Amino acid sequence: ISYRLKIIPLICSYFCYDNPAALQTQIQGVMKVNTVTFMQLYAWYSWPNVILCFFGGFLLDRVFGIRLGTIIFSLFVVLGQVIFVYLHRIGGESLAVAQNSYAVSWFKGKELNLVFGLQLSMARLGSTVNMNIMGWIFSRISQMVGSESPTALGISLMIGTATCIFSLLCALFLGYLDRRAAKILNKEQEKTGEVIKLTDVKHFPASLWLIFFICVGYYVAVFPFIGLGKVFFIEKFNFSPAEASAVNSIVYIISAPASPVLGFLVDKVGKNIFWVMCAVIITLIAHMMLAFTFWNPWIAMSLLGISYSLLACALWPMVAFVVPEHQIGTAYGFMQSIQNLGLAVIAIAAGAILDSRGYLLLEVFFCACVCCEYRLLLLLLLLLFNRIHCKV
Protein backbone atom coordinates (compact mmCIF):
# COMPACT_ATOMS: atom_id res chain seq x y z
CA ILE A 1 0.00 0.00 0.00
CA SER A 2 2.86 2.42 0.75
CA TYR A 3 4.21 2.16 -2.78
CA ARG A 4 0.77 2.79 -4.26
CA LEU A 5 0.50 5.92 -2.12
CA LYS A 6 3.93 7.07 -3.24
CA ILE A 7 3.01 7.11 -6.91
CA ILE A 8 -0.27 9.00 -6.45
CA PRO A 9 1.46 12.40 -6.04
CA LEU A 10 3.14 11.76 -9.41
CA ILE A 11 -0.22 11.17 -11.11
CA CYS A 12 -1.66 14.40 -9.75
CA SER A 13 1.43 16.51 -10.38
CA TYR A 14 1.74 15.44 -14.02
CA PHE A 15 -1.99 15.85 -14.59
CA CYS A 16 -1.49 19.52 -13.69
CA TYR A 17 1.87 19.86 -15.47
CA ASP A 18 0.38 18.98 -18.85
CA ASN A 19 -2.66 21.26 -18.60
CA PRO A 20 -1.08 23.84 -20.98
CA ALA A 21 -0.32 21.23 -23.66
CA ALA A 22 -3.87 19.89 -23.55
CA LEU A 23 -5.31 23.41 -23.75
CA GLN A 24 -2.80 25.02 -26.14
CA THR A 25 -5.30 26.34 -28.69
CA GLN A 26 -7.73 27.43 -25.96
CA ILE A 27 -5.04 29.25 -23.96
CA GLN A 28 -3.70 31.01 -27.04
CA GLY A 29 -7.21 32.00 -28.09
CA VAL A 30 -8.47 33.19 -24.71
CA MET A 31 -5.25 34.92 -23.66
CA LYS A 32 -4.45 36.13 -27.21
CA VAL A 33 -0.80 35.04 -27.16
CA ASN A 34 1.51 33.65 -29.85
CA THR A 35 3.47 30.41 -29.63
CA VAL A 36 6.56 32.04 -28.11
CA THR A 37 4.53 33.48 -25.26
CA PHE A 38 2.63 30.22 -24.81
CA MET A 39 5.86 28.24 -24.51
CA GLN A 40 6.99 30.62 -21.77
CA LEU A 41 4.43 28.83 -19.57
CA TYR A 42 6.75 25.83 -19.72
CA ALA A 43 9.79 28.07 -19.36
CA TRP A 44 8.34 29.56 -16.17
CA TYR A 45 7.95 26.01 -14.92
CA SER A 46 11.60 25.31 -15.59
CA TRP A 47 13.43 28.50 -14.60
CA PRO A 48 12.69 28.40 -10.85
CA ASN A 49 13.58 24.72 -10.73
CA VAL A 50 17.03 25.30 -12.20
CA ILE A 51 17.96 26.35 -8.67
CA LEU A 52 15.13 25.07 -6.50
CA CYS A 53 15.41 21.39 -7.45
CA PHE A 54 19.03 21.32 -6.34
CA PHE A 55 18.24 22.96 -3.03
CA GLY A 56 15.14 20.79 -2.70
CA GLY A 57 17.31 17.68 -2.99
CA PHE A 58 19.85 19.13 -0.56
CA LEU A 59 17.10 19.94 1.96
CA LEU A 60 15.81 16.37 1.66
CA ASP A 61 19.25 14.98 2.47
CA ARG A 62 20.32 17.50 5.11
CA VAL A 63 17.30 19.24 6.71
CA PHE A 64 13.78 17.88 6.13
CA GLY A 65 14.29 14.22 5.43
CA ILE A 66 12.23 12.42 2.81
CA ARG A 67 8.98 12.28 4.80
CA LEU A 68 8.65 15.94 5.76
CA GLY A 69 10.09 17.07 2.41
CA THR A 70 7.47 15.11 0.46
CA ILE A 71 4.68 16.69 2.50
CA ILE A 72 6.06 20.22 2.09
CA PHE A 73 6.52 19.88 -1.66
CA SER A 74 3.04 18.37 -2.05
CA LEU A 75 1.66 21.41 -0.25
CA PHE A 76 3.48 23.70 -2.69
CA VAL A 77 1.87 21.81 -5.59
CA VAL A 78 -1.59 22.39 -4.12
CA LEU A 79 -1.00 26.11 -3.56
CA GLY A 80 0.60 26.47 -6.98
CA GLN A 81 -2.31 24.89 -8.81
CA VAL A 82 -4.70 27.29 -7.07
CA ILE A 83 -2.83 30.39 -8.28
CA PHE A 84 -1.50 28.62 -11.45
CA VAL A 85 2.13 28.28 -12.49
CA TYR A 86 4.71 29.52 -10.01
CA LEU A 87 4.29 27.72 -6.68
CA HIS A 88 3.22 24.53 -8.45
CA ARG A 89 6.50 24.69 -10.33
CA ILE A 90 8.45 25.12 -7.08
CA GLY A 91 6.88 22.01 -5.58
CA GLY A 92 6.35 19.77 -8.59
CA GLU A 93 9.93 18.97 -9.52
CA SER A 94 11.13 18.81 -5.90
CA LEU A 95 8.29 16.38 -5.22
CA ALA A 96 9.66 14.17 -8.00
CA VAL A 97 13.10 14.34 -6.33
CA ALA A 98 11.53 13.21 -3.05
CA GLN A 99 9.76 10.31 -4.72
CA ASN A 100 12.96 9.20 -6.46
CA SER A 101 14.70 9.29 -3.08
CA TYR A 102 11.93 7.17 -1.58
CA ALA A 103 12.33 4.63 -4.39
CA VAL A 104 16.09 4.32 -3.93
CA SER A 105 15.69 4.08 -0.14
CA TRP A 106 13.29 1.15 -0.44
CA PHE A 107 14.48 -0.68 -3.54
CA LYS A 108 18.20 0.03 -4.06
CA GLY A 109 19.88 -3.10 -5.39
CA LYS A 110 16.55 -4.84 -5.96
CA GLU A 111 14.12 -4.21 -8.83
CA LEU A 112 15.02 -0.52 -9.01
CA ASN A 113 14.53 -0.29 -12.78
CA LEU A 114 11.07 -1.85 -12.43
CA VAL A 115 10.18 0.63 -9.69
CA PHE A 116 11.20 3.61 -11.81
CA GLY A 117 9.19 2.12 -14.65
CA LEU A 118 6.13 1.93 -12.41
CA GLN A 119 6.67 5.53 -11.32
CA LEU A 120 6.77 6.67 -14.92
CA SER A 121 3.73 4.55 -15.72
CA MET A 122 1.61 6.23 -13.07
CA ALA A 123 2.91 9.70 -13.92
CA ARG A 124 2.02 9.20 -17.56
CA LEU A 125 -1.40 7.90 -16.61
CA GLY A 126 -2.05 11.35 -15.17
CA SER A 127 -0.71 13.01 -18.31
CA THR A 128 -2.80 10.80 -20.59
CA VAL A 129 -6.01 11.49 -18.71
CA ASN A 130 -5.22 15.21 -18.85
CA MET A 131 -4.48 15.21 -22.57
CA ASN A 132 -7.75 13.51 -23.42
CA ILE A 133 -10.25 15.18 -21.09
CA MET A 134 -9.12 18.78 -20.53
CA GLY A 135 -10.28 19.96 -23.96
CA TRP A 136 -13.68 18.37 -23.36
CA ILE A 137 -13.89 19.90 -19.87
CA PHE A 138 -13.09 23.35 -21.26
CA SER A 139 -15.80 22.97 -23.92
CA ARG A 140 -18.41 21.94 -21.37
CA ILE A 141 -17.52 24.76 -18.99
CA SER A 142 -17.52 27.27 -21.87
CA GLN A 143 -21.07 26.20 -22.70
CA MET A 144 -22.07 26.66 -19.07
CA VAL A 145 -20.61 30.17 -18.74
CA GLY A 146 -21.68 31.17 -22.24
CA SER A 147 -18.33 31.76 -23.95
CA GLU A 148 -14.69 30.69 -24.22
CA SER A 149 -13.63 33.24 -21.62
CA PRO A 150 -10.86 33.55 -19.03
CA THR A 151 -13.45 32.40 -16.49
CA ALA A 152 -13.98 29.13 -18.37
CA LEU A 153 -10.22 28.64 -18.63
CA GLY A 154 -9.71 29.32 -14.93
CA ILE A 155 -12.44 26.90 -13.86
CA SER A 156 -10.97 24.22 -16.12
CA LEU A 157 -7.54 24.62 -14.57
CA MET A 158 -8.99 24.48 -11.06
CA ILE A 159 -10.09 20.90 -11.72
CA GLY A 160 -6.52 19.85 -10.99
CA THR A 161 -6.68 21.31 -7.48
CA ALA A 162 -8.78 18.40 -6.21
CA THR A 163 -6.22 15.88 -7.45
CA CYS A 164 -3.40 17.84 -5.78
CA ILE A 165 -5.22 17.90 -2.45
CA PHE A 166 -5.64 14.13 -2.71
CA SER A 167 -1.90 13.73 -3.34
CA LEU A 168 -1.12 15.84 -0.25
CA LEU A 169 -3.27 13.54 1.89
CA CYS A 170 -1.44 10.53 0.47
CA ALA A 171 1.93 12.14 1.22
CA LEU A 172 0.86 12.61 4.85
CA PHE A 173 -0.22 8.99 5.18
CA LEU A 174 2.92 7.80 3.39
CA GLY A 175 5.09 9.67 5.89
CA TYR A 176 3.31 7.87 8.72
CA LEU A 177 3.80 4.47 7.08
CA ASP A 178 7.49 5.11 6.35
CA ARG A 179 8.17 6.23 9.91
CA ARG A 180 6.43 3.16 11.29
CA ALA A 181 8.41 0.89 8.95
CA ALA A 182 11.68 2.55 9.97
CA LYS A 183 10.96 1.78 13.63
CA ILE A 184 9.98 -1.83 12.97
CA LEU A 185 13.01 -2.52 10.74
CA ASN A 186 15.45 -0.43 12.84
CA LYS A 187 16.45 1.56 9.76
CA GLU A 188 17.46 4.59 11.82
CA GLN A 189 20.24 2.54 13.44
CA GLU A 190 21.60 1.50 10.04
CA LYS A 191 22.44 5.04 8.91
CA THR A 192 26.14 5.74 8.37
CA GLY A 193 26.11 9.17 9.99
CA GLU A 194 27.54 10.80 6.87
CA VAL A 195 26.04 14.20 6.07
CA ILE A 196 25.78 15.87 2.66
CA LYS A 197 27.41 19.27 2.19
CA LEU A 198 26.89 21.70 -0.67
CA THR A 199 30.58 21.47 -1.49
CA ASP A 200 30.15 17.73 -2.17
CA VAL A 201 28.69 18.64 -5.56
CA LYS A 202 32.13 19.43 -6.94
CA HIS A 203 33.21 15.92 -5.97
CA PHE A 204 30.43 14.19 -7.89
CA PRO A 205 32.02 11.60 -10.23
CA ALA A 206 32.37 12.38 -13.92
CA SER A 207 30.00 9.52 -14.71
CA LEU A 208 27.23 11.26 -12.75
CA TRP A 209 27.73 14.53 -14.65
CA LEU A 210 27.47 12.62 -17.91
CA ILE A 211 24.17 11.12 -16.74
CA PHE A 212 22.94 14.66 -16.03
CA PHE A 213 23.76 15.92 -19.50
CA ILE A 214 22.39 12.84 -21.23
CA CYS A 215 19.13 13.39 -19.37
CA VAL A 216 18.97 16.98 -20.64
CA GLY A 217 19.87 16.03 -24.20
CA TYR A 218 17.04 13.55 -24.36
CA TYR A 219 14.20 15.36 -22.65
CA VAL A 220 14.62 18.60 -24.61
CA ALA A 221 13.75 16.59 -27.72
CA VAL A 222 10.59 15.13 -26.17
CA PHE A 223 8.74 17.48 -23.83
CA PRO A 224 8.90 20.70 -25.91
CA PHE A 225 7.70 18.72 -28.94
CA ILE A 226 4.73 17.31 -27.03
CA GLY A 227 3.95 20.82 -25.80
CA LEU A 228 3.66 21.95 -29.43
CA GLY A 229 2.56 18.67 -30.97
CA LYS A 230 -1.19 19.17 -31.10
CA VAL A 231 -1.02 22.08 -33.54
CA PHE A 232 1.73 20.28 -35.50
CA PHE A 233 -0.57 17.34 -36.24
CA ILE A 234 -3.44 19.64 -37.14
CA GLU A 235 -1.34 21.64 -39.61
CA LYS A 236 0.79 18.92 -41.21
CA PHE A 237 -1.62 15.99 -41.24
CA ASN A 238 -4.95 17.85 -41.31
CA PHE A 239 -6.10 16.14 -38.13
CA SER A 240 -9.09 17.37 -36.18
CA PRO A 241 -8.33 18.78 -32.70
CA ALA A 242 -9.59 15.54 -31.13
CA GLU A 243 -7.42 13.38 -33.41
CA ALA A 244 -4.41 15.63 -32.80
CA SER A 245 -4.84 15.35 -29.03
CA ALA A 246 -5.10 11.58 -29.30
CA VAL A 247 -1.91 11.12 -31.34
CA ASN A 248 -0.07 13.69 -29.22
CA SER A 249 -0.91 11.74 -26.08
CA ILE A 250 0.10 8.34 -27.47
CA VAL A 251 3.61 8.77 -26.00
CA TYR A 252 2.07 8.88 -22.55
CA ILE A 253 -0.50 6.17 -23.28
CA ILE A 254 2.23 3.75 -24.37
CA SER A 255 4.55 4.63 -21.49
CA ALA A 256 1.88 3.78 -18.92
CA PRO A 257 1.84 0.00 -19.63
CA ALA A 258 5.27 -0.23 -21.27
CA SER A 259 7.38 1.36 -18.53
CA PRO A 260 7.01 -1.36 -15.87
CA VAL A 261 7.45 -4.09 -18.49
CA LEU A 262 10.63 -2.50 -19.85
CA GLY A 263 11.83 -1.80 -16.31
CA PHE A 264 11.42 -5.48 -15.47
CA LEU A 265 13.35 -6.37 -18.64
CA VAL A 266 16.22 -4.03 -17.75
CA ASP A 267 16.33 -5.50 -14.23
CA LYS A 268 16.64 -9.02 -15.62
CA VAL A 269 19.15 -8.27 -18.38
CA GLY A 270 21.16 -5.44 -16.82
CA LYS A 271 23.39 -3.28 -19.04
CA ASN A 272 21.49 -0.04 -18.48
CA ILE A 273 23.73 1.88 -20.89
CA PHE A 274 22.87 -0.45 -23.75
CA TRP A 275 19.16 0.22 -23.22
CA VAL A 276 19.73 3.96 -23.05
CA MET A 277 21.55 3.82 -26.38
CA CYS A 278 18.66 1.89 -27.93
CA ALA A 279 16.25 4.55 -26.68
CA VAL A 280 18.31 7.31 -28.30
CA ILE A 281 18.40 5.60 -31.69
CA ILE A 282 14.64 4.94 -31.66
CA THR A 283 13.96 8.56 -30.71
CA LEU A 284 16.08 9.83 -33.59
CA ILE A 285 14.21 7.57 -36.03
CA ALA A 286 10.86 8.83 -34.73
CA HIS A 287 11.79 12.50 -35.13
CA MET A 288 13.17 11.91 -38.62
CA MET A 289 9.92 10.23 -39.64
CA LEU A 290 7.91 13.19 -38.36
CA ALA A 291 10.23 15.69 -40.03
CA PHE A 292 10.78 14.19 -43.48
CA THR A 293 7.85 11.90 -44.23
CA PHE A 294 4.07 11.99 -44.33
CA TRP A 295 3.77 8.50 -42.93
CA ASN A 296 1.04 7.92 -40.41
CA PRO A 297 2.25 9.84 -37.33
CA TRP A 298 0.89 7.15 -35.05
CA ILE A 299 3.93 5.05 -36.03
CA ALA A 300 6.50 7.69 -35.10
CA MET A 301 4.72 8.68 -31.91
CA SER A 302 4.43 5.03 -30.86
CA LEU A 303 8.18 4.64 -31.34
CA LEU A 304 8.72 7.79 -29.31
CA GLY A 305 6.55 6.36 -26.53
CA ILE A 306 8.58 3.14 -26.41
CA SER A 307 11.93 4.95 -26.42
CA TYR A 308 10.80 7.43 -23.78
CA SER A 309 9.71 4.59 -21.49
CA LEU A 310 12.92 2.66 -22.05
CA LEU A 311 15.20 5.60 -21.34
CA ALA A 312 13.42 6.57 -18.13
CA CYS A 313 13.60 2.99 -16.80
CA ALA A 314 17.29 2.61 -17.60
CA LEU A 315 18.76 6.10 -17.03
CA TRP A 316 17.29 7.38 -13.75
CA PRO A 317 18.26 4.34 -11.62
CA MET A 318 21.88 4.76 -12.73
CA VAL A 319 22.25 7.71 -10.35
CA ALA A 320 21.91 5.32 -7.41
CA PHE A 321 24.79 3.24 -8.79
CA VAL A 322 27.36 6.04 -8.75
CA VAL A 323 26.69 8.09 -5.56
CA PRO A 324 26.41 7.06 -1.89
CA GLU A 325 22.96 6.92 -0.31
CA HIS A 326 23.38 10.08 1.79
CA GLN A 327 23.85 12.08 -1.46
CA ILE A 328 20.90 10.59 -3.38
CA GLY A 329 18.49 13.48 -2.83
CA THR A 330 21.07 16.09 -3.78
CA ALA A 331 22.11 14.12 -6.88
CA TYR A 332 18.54 13.73 -8.10
CA GLY A 333 17.86 17.38 -7.29
CA PHE A 334 20.83 18.49 -9.36
CA MET A 335 19.72 16.23 -12.19
CA GLN A 336 16.28 17.83 -12.16
CA SER A 337 17.88 21.30 -12.00
CA ILE A 338 20.01 20.77 -15.09
CA GLN A 339 17.08 19.18 -16.89
CA ASN A 340 14.92 22.21 -16.14
CA LEU A 341 17.62 24.59 -17.36
CA GLY A 342 17.72 22.76 -20.67
CA LEU A 343 13.93 22.61 -20.96
CA ALA A 344 13.56 26.32 -20.17
CA VAL A 345 16.02 27.35 -22.87
CA ILE A 346 14.78 24.89 -25.50
CA ALA A 347 11.09 25.66 -24.86
CA ILE A 348 11.67 29.32 -25.72
CA ALA A 349 13.91 28.43 -28.67
CA ALA A 350 11.34 25.94 -30.00
CA GLY A 351 8.57 28.52 -29.87
CA ALA A 352 10.74 31.07 -31.67
CA ILE A 353 11.76 28.58 -34.37
CA LEU A 354 8.16 27.54 -34.91
CA ASP A 355 6.86 31.10 -35.26
CA SER A 356 9.64 32.17 -37.63
CA ARG A 357 10.55 29.02 -39.59
CA GLY A 358 7.80 26.45 -39.18
CA TYR A 359 7.57 22.88 -38.04
CA LEU A 360 10.06 21.36 -40.49
CA LEU A 361 12.99 23.33 -39.12
CA LEU A 362 11.76 22.69 -35.59
CA GLU A 363 11.88 18.94 -36.19
CA VAL A 364 15.34 19.25 -37.72
CA PHE A 365 16.35 21.10 -34.56
CA PHE A 366 15.07 18.26 -32.39
CA CYS A 367 16.90 15.73 -34.55
CA ALA A 368 20.09 17.73 -34.10
CA CYS A 369 19.61 17.78 -30.32
CA VAL A 370 19.34 14.00 -30.23
CA CYS A 371 21.93 13.22 -32.89
CA CYS A 372 24.77 15.59 -31.99
CA GLU A 373 24.61 16.48 -28.31
CA TYR A 374 23.10 13.38 -26.85
CA ARG A 375 24.80 10.66 -28.87
CA LEU A 376 28.28 12.11 -28.26
CA LEU A 377 27.61 12.27 -24.54
CA LEU A 378 26.19 8.77 -24.58
CA LEU A 379 29.27 7.34 -26.27
CA LEU A 380 31.49 9.04 -23.71
CA LEU A 381 29.36 7.70 -20.89
CA LEU A 382 29.55 4.21 -22.37
CA LEU A 383 33.36 4.30 -22.39
CA LEU A 384 33.52 5.60 -18.83
CA PHE A 385 31.05 3.11 -17.41
CA ASN A 386 32.67 0.16 -19.17
CA ARG A 387 35.98 1.16 -17.57
CA ILE A 388 34.81 1.97 -14.03
CA HIS A 389 31.32 0.56 -13.44
CA CYS A 390 31.25 -2.71 -15.32
CA LYS A 391 28.26 -3.97 -13.39
CA VAL A 392 25.88 -1.20 -14.53
Q: What is the CATH number of the domain that holds 84?
A: 1.20.1250.20
pLDDT tens digits for range 138-160: 888 888 887 777 888 888 878 77
List pLDDT tens digits, range 348-386: 888 888 888 888 888 898 998 888 767 766 776 666 666
**Amino acid 262: pLDDT:** 92
* pLDDT above 60 (res 275): yes
Residue pair 20/131 in contact (Cβ under 8 Å)? The answer is: no
Assigned domain for 117 exists: yes
Q: What is the pLDDT of residues 173-195, one digit of tens each?
A: 888 877 887 777 676 544 544 55
Q: How far apart are CA 263 and CA 8, in angstroms?
A: 19
| Domain assignment present for 194 | no
Above 50 in pLDDT, residue 168? yes
> How far apart are the two ends of the chain, measured CA to CA in Å?
30
Q: What percent of the chain has pLDDT over 70?
A: 83
In a domain, 192, yes or no: no
Q: Return the closest-CA partner of residue 201 out of 49, 58, 52.
A: 58
Maximum average pLDDT range among 7-16, 61-70, 356-365, 374-383: 356-365
Give CA–CA dist 251/300, Å, rounded.
Answer: 10
Who wins on pLDDT, 143 or 106?
A: 143
Instruction: Let me know if residue 221 belongs to a domain.
Output: yes
Determine, yes or no, domain membership for 378. Answer: yes
For position 192, what pLDDT does the model report? 46
Q: Into how many domains does the chain fold?
A: 1
Query: Which residues does 33 contact at the CB level (< 8 Å), separation at least 6?
Result: 27
Read off the pTM: 0.76
- Give residue-wise pLDDT tens across range 26-58: 888 888 888 777 777 666 666 776 777 777 777
Which pLDDT value is given to residue 309?
A: 92
Most trustworthy range by pLDDT among 129-133, 145-149, 264-268, 327-331? 264-268
Confidence at residue 8, expressed as pLDDT on a 0 to 100 scale: 58
- Residue 264: is its pLDDT beyond 80? yes
Spatial separation of the C-alpha atoms in residues 67 and 71, rounded to whole Å: 7
pLDDT of residue 342: 86
Quick check: is 191 in a domain?
no
Query: Is 189 a member of any domain?
Result: no
pLDDT at 59: 77
Please say if the pLDDT value at position 118 is more than 60: yes
CA dist., res. 10 & res. 148, Å (int): 30
Q: Does residue 29 lie within any of the structural domains?
A: yes
Domain that holds residue 351: 2-184+202-388
